[in-house]
Amino acid sequence: MKQTLPIVGMACSACAAHVEKTLRSLDGVSSANVSLASRTAIVDYDPQQVTPDNMKASLNAIGFDMIVSSDESVETIEQREYVLLRRKTLLSWLLALLTMAVSMNMLHIGNRDAANQVCMMLALANIAYCGRTFYVNTWRRLRHGVTDMDTLVTFSTAITFIYSTFNTFFGDAFWGSRGIEWHTWFDASVMIITFVLTGRVLETKAKRGTAGAIRKLMGMQPKTARVVSAGDDGMEEYREVPMETIAIGDILELRPGEKAPVDGMVTMASSFMTDDAAYIDEAMITGEPAPVAKRRGDSVLAGTVLTQGNLRIRARQVGEHTALAAIIRMVQQAQGSKAPIQRTIDKVAMVVFVPVVAAISVLTFIIWCAVGGMQAQPQAILSAVAVLVIACPCAMGLATPTALMVGMGKAAQNQILIKDATALELLQRVDVVVTDKTGTLTIPNRQIDFTKADALPLEERETLKPFAREAVSELKDMGIDVHLTSGDKPEAVAFWAAKAGIGNFHAKVLPQDKEALVKALRQDGHCVAMVGDGINDTQALALADVGIAMGKGTDVAMDVAQVTLMGDDLRRIPEAILLSRRTVGMIRQNLFWAFVYNVVCIPLAAGVPFLFGISFQITPMWASAMMAFSSVSVVLNSLRLNFSGSTR
């Protein structure tokens, strides 16, 4: 079975990679995809061999946690953690400011030794409470041969604290006797933790914006429902009950303005305009703006809103089996999936980055000592610590998943459901769209006698979907060729191709012919998107680089396709492609700046400018601030996708 489980304790891409590796190593787990941005793991496992509790225990051993209990919602747990993180950050700032004030003699503590000892106590308090998580996690992970961002924070703060403590008690005896000026860096030790915590608070706050689509979808699910039942006296009675208690077959009543709590079938409908119909707003599900009339026997989807009249429905699908729940799962799994480029970044972060950074830090220390001798040892330690702090791979790890989360969330808000990150990445490369005709481009006429259809004008047999011509025009403006395929007669296909503005059309084609067309286009070097709605389209949908199914099509087509368009507005096809281009462009921006940040800042932190006679260096304190800012900037940059506007 496949399940999405929240993960607690991940701070960088190395963390996500180690969690993923641990889960995949368990017997019974066939696949695991961990998303740093959404803090979730999508795990496909055999419940007979392994359980979520087993996974939780394995992650606990390396300093992470998995939420498997349903006693509390994920939102409640995340909010509690956020409040605790914010409290620690505020206290860390207080201790940091006090430490800096004492070290700069602003509080007139007394002599230098007394001031250093006060700074030492303040720094120790900061490490023991505010920074305790870094140290605990580092210890747990090092026991299993795992390194990540917490390792860098722990080593850098520990080195500065131990070095400063040594100088507090033995500075004059050890350094002074050799004529070397010595310093304490308790303020740097405190500020490293303070800036890292501040970055995480800002990051967490910003990431809530990336999950906006999921929260909106979840907000469509009412918490209670009104059940209609027969009382002891034979009269009808109404009970407000929690959603969890609703069973299939229950009769539920909706009043104007209320959301349908389940998928159901109408048993009674009325309004002031008609005695046999009520009107439902399905815009959040299908994107269609006009309310839809619902009569006895019609289906109603969970999350849709009764705008006019009164309605009673019999529950057919409840809880996680409703169409809305399926959409939420699809969006969650899509946001938690990984683009191919992210897998490479995770491998680099887990296997290469932290060890390489540690090696650069040690090399920096050795070079400074070799060049400057004993006199340069304080500078050597300062430079080595700055390298450890500034080279954290957080920004690089967040570059891809945050942009994907926002992009997929925005797509979901526009009734475009994308199954995985690979599909989103491929959409931006599409240069040919192949579309089916009947049911996809045109709407057949549920009213004519098909035995006499040949005698009717083509316009009476079917109708071009609204905005179909505009959609084709937009695709052409984007440099994308459009092909129309159909099993219909050549004259009918040519007629509707001309109506839609499509120059390439193929008539009297069988399912295997559609597949052959897609195959031929791909062999010619094109990236092909196939749009269809029926069983006869599934072969081509499966073979295409990106399969796009219409939401009102068959379940088989939607299962095969990587993208599903809710409703009938074909303009969502160019919108999906443009959104993909913007998202991939944002990923490239994020990766470029994250890479440039490390390439530029590591030499500055190591003190390379001194080799050219320039007295400039990034200190450990400012290194932590810049590292935190780089991570936050990547998230904020990704959030710009929310304001990118429509394709029209």
Active site residues: 436
Q: How many CB atoms lie within 10 A of CB 80?
A: 11
Helix, strand or coil, per DSSP, at residue 328? helix
> In sequence order, what are the residues at sequence separation of 6 or more whose Cβ sits closer than 8 angstroms to the Cβ of residue 451?
none
Helix, strand or coil, per DSSP, at residue 225? strand
CB half-sphere exposure, 239, CA atoms < 13 A: 12
Q: State phi, psi for 293 to the nearest 5 degrees.
A: -70, 135
Rg of the chain over all Cα atoms, to the nearest angstrom:
31
Q: How many CB atoms lie within 10 A of CB 249?
A: 10
> How far, in Å, CA of 285 to CA of 41, rounded?
26
> How far, in Å, CA of 267 to CA of 264, rounded?
9
> How far, in Å, CA of 337 to CA of 449, rounded?
47
> How far, in Å, CA of 269 to CA of 213, rounded?
32
Q: How many CB atoms lie within 10 A of CB 108?
A: 8
> In sequence order, what are the residues at sequence separation of 6 or more whose Cβ sits closer than 8 angstroms to the Cβ of residue 470?
571
Pick the closest to residue 605 from 156, 154, 168, 142 (CA basis): 156
> In sequence order, what are the residues at sequence separation of 6 or more whose Cβ sits closer than 8 angstroms to the Cβ of residue 302?
220, 221, 259, 260, 261, 262, 263, 317, 322, 323, 324, 325
Q: At what angle do helices 13-24 and 340-347 cross, to 10 degrees?
A: 90
